[in-house]
Amino acid sequence: MVASMRKRGIGKQRYVLRVACRFCLLLLLIFANAHALVADTYSDRRVSVGLNLFGALLVADREADKKANEDGELPIYVLYADDRLEAEGYAQTLQKKLASIRDHRTRVESVSYNAYLAGETDPPLGIFISQRLTDSELEQLIRSSIDGGVILFSPFEGDVEKGVLGGLSVQASVRPYINQKALEQTGLAIKSFYLRVARIYE
């Protein structure tokens, strides 16, 4: 009888231990998913705010009207690495917000990184990076934008410091973020109202 009671006691302990382990695993999964959700939400917020700042930066280009194509349109690209659907959604959002600049229609479309660097598109007024790129990809894109006098904007943290012309600074408040060296190398003429409110990275 004593042996039987011991077995029942051990069995109960094992059951409690299994339940506790499952509960701990469930908590880990919940917190892991919550962390991912917070991270995704933060990234989405940066992109959403970034689209607005990007639009304002395009409008602030004093020579934007000189960059229209043969159809009188100003091409603007939302550039992606492999997520075309997400980029198309951002492009549609920006198109609704920015139908024209200086009496020229805008044409906002999603373009793949490879297609753009291969020269398969019209020269754009500006490029919005919708996905994080590798350092080597970003470096190539920065060189291309400087050579072409293109406004390059990234909502992702750290990209302005790497040489991207425009981004956003999230401190006490959200402000435009401009790389001074990239601005000078690109040769863009940005209106002073945008630069006055921007944080400048030198």
Domains of the chain: 47-201 (3.40.50.2300)
Structural contact between residues 107 and 76, judged by C-beta atoms closer than 8 angstroms: yes
- In this prediction, residue 17 has a pLDDT band, given cuts at 50, 70 and 90, of low
Instruction: Please report which helix (H) or strand (E) contains residue 187, including its range.
Output: none
| Residue 5 CB contacts under 8 Å (≥ 6 apart), including other chains | none
The alpha carbon of residue 50 and the mean position of all alpha carbons in its chain are separated, in whole angstroms, by 7
State the pLDDT at residue 35.
Answer: 38
- In this prediction, residue 173 has a pLDDT band, given cuts at 50, 70 and 90, of confident
**What is d(CA 153, CA 164) in angstroms, rounded to the nearest whole number?**
6
Which of 63, 58, 56 has its CA nearest to residue 197?
56
* Distance set, CA 194 to CA 1, 97, 117 (Å): 85, 18, 28
- The structure's pTM equals 0.79
Structural contact between residues 107 and 60, judged by C-beta atoms closer than 8 angstroms: no
Q: How do residues 70-98 score in pLDDT, each as one tens digit?
A: 999 999 999 999 999 999 999 999 999 99
